[in-house]
């Protein structure tokens, strides 16, 4: 008993290599071989189990980590902010420009529930609390984007050149949201007459756009402004702008018989 017990203890405390490769050698009978096979299986099984547990534990840790990041994404999300699609915003959209734009849009019915089309000069006087010269200066950055459509004296009819230029400008919308038409009349004649003429010129532009493009969204895009002779007159400098009568004589009188048309690349 004692001897057998000692032998058992020795076997229990034997190394793994002893289990599979005992001193008696490999060909020492069925019982020993079974023990050796069992030893090898135990080692293999232990290795597999250890790796499996480690692997499964690692997987659990990975999923848990992802769950934590999912629950607290703030730091990561802040680094991955994505731009949002919107209308264009050109450098000339200064606060002063936007202030005028906003007031004109409100007054002209393009923003809000009003169904008006166009603004009377008095509205602009009230809403655009800046000087006439400053008002004109605001449009200076639009030189490349806009065009001056010239009219004959006392006429509100768009000629072929004016229509062509207007069409080109309209089709070159890019990211702009609003199309501005600012009609003018020269100082010839009475204030009332000039104001009415300016209004007609603005309408000529609008009607041409409607007729040519039949854009269902046009009413939400075009802002009309008609300025009579009581407003600041355009100077000769505007003769350098793209006009519908390139190469023809341009004077302070002719440049003010016109409608200025341009997309405005500003967000409001």
Among 18, 43, 127, 137, binds another protein (CB under 8 A): 43
Chain positions 67 to 106 lying near another protein, rule: CB under 8 A, are: 67, 69-71, 73, 76-77, 80, 82-88
Minimum CB separation from another protein for residue 259, in Å?
A: 22
Question: What is residue 199's three-state secondary structure?
Answer: helix
Among 14, 66, 96, 157, binds another protein (CB under 8 A): 66
Question: What is residue 224's three-state secondary structure?
Answer: strand
Asked if 37 touches another protein (CB under 8 A), the answer is yes
Asked if 210 touches another protein (CB under 8 A), the answer is no
Contacts 24+ apart (CB under 8 A), 212-219: 212/163, 212/167, 212/170, 213/170, 219/117
Nearest to another protein of 80, 129 (CB atom): 80
Angle at 93 between CA 89 and CA 94, to 5 degrees: 140
Distance CA(9)–CA(3), nearest Å, equals 10
Asked if 18 touches another protein (CB under 8 A), the answer is no
Note the Cα 86 to chain centre separation in Å: 3
Asked if 11 touches another protein (CB under 8 A), the answer is no
Calculate helix-pair angle for 191-213, 160-171, nearest 10 degrees: 60
- Residues interacting with another protein, by CB under 8 A? 16-17, 20-21, 26-27, 30, 33-34, 36-37, 39-41, 43-49, 51-52, 55-56, 58-60, 62-67, 69-71, 73, 76-77, 80, 82-88, 171, 173-175, 215-217, 265
């Amino acid at each position: 008993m004692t001897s057998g017990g000692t032998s058992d203890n020795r076997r229990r405390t034997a190394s793994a290599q002893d289990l599979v490769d005992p001193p008696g050698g490999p060909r020492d009978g069925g019982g020993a071989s079974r023990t050796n096979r069992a030893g090898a299986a135990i080692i293999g099984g232990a290795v597999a189990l250890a790796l499996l547990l480690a692997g499964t534990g690692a997987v659990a840790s990975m999923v848990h980590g992802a769950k934590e990041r999912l629950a607290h994404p703030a730091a990561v999300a802040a680094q991955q902010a994505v731009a949002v699609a919107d209308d264009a915003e050109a450098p000339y959209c200064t606060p002063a420009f936007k202030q005028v734009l906003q007031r004109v849009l409100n007054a002209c019915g393009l923003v809000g529930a009003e169904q008006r089309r166009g603004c009377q000069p008095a509205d602009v006087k009230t809403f655009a609390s800046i000087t006439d010269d400053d008002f004109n200066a605001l449009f200076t950055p639009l030189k490349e984007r806009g065009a001056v459509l010239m009219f004959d004296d006392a006429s509100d009819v768009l000629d072929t050149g004016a229509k062509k230029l207007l069409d080109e400008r309209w089709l070159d919308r890019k990211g702009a949201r609003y199309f501005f038409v600012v009609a003018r009349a020269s100082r010839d004649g009475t204030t009332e007459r000039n104001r009415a003429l300016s209004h007609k010129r603005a309408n000529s532009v609008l009607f041409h756009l409607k007729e040519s493009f039949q854009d269902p969204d046009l009413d939400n895009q075009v802002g009309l402004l008609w300025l009579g002779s009581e407003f600041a007159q355009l100077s000769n400098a505007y003769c350098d702008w793209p006009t519908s009568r390139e190469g023809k004589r341009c004077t302070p009188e002719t440049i003010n018989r016109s409608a200025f048309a341009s997309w405005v690349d500003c967000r409001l």
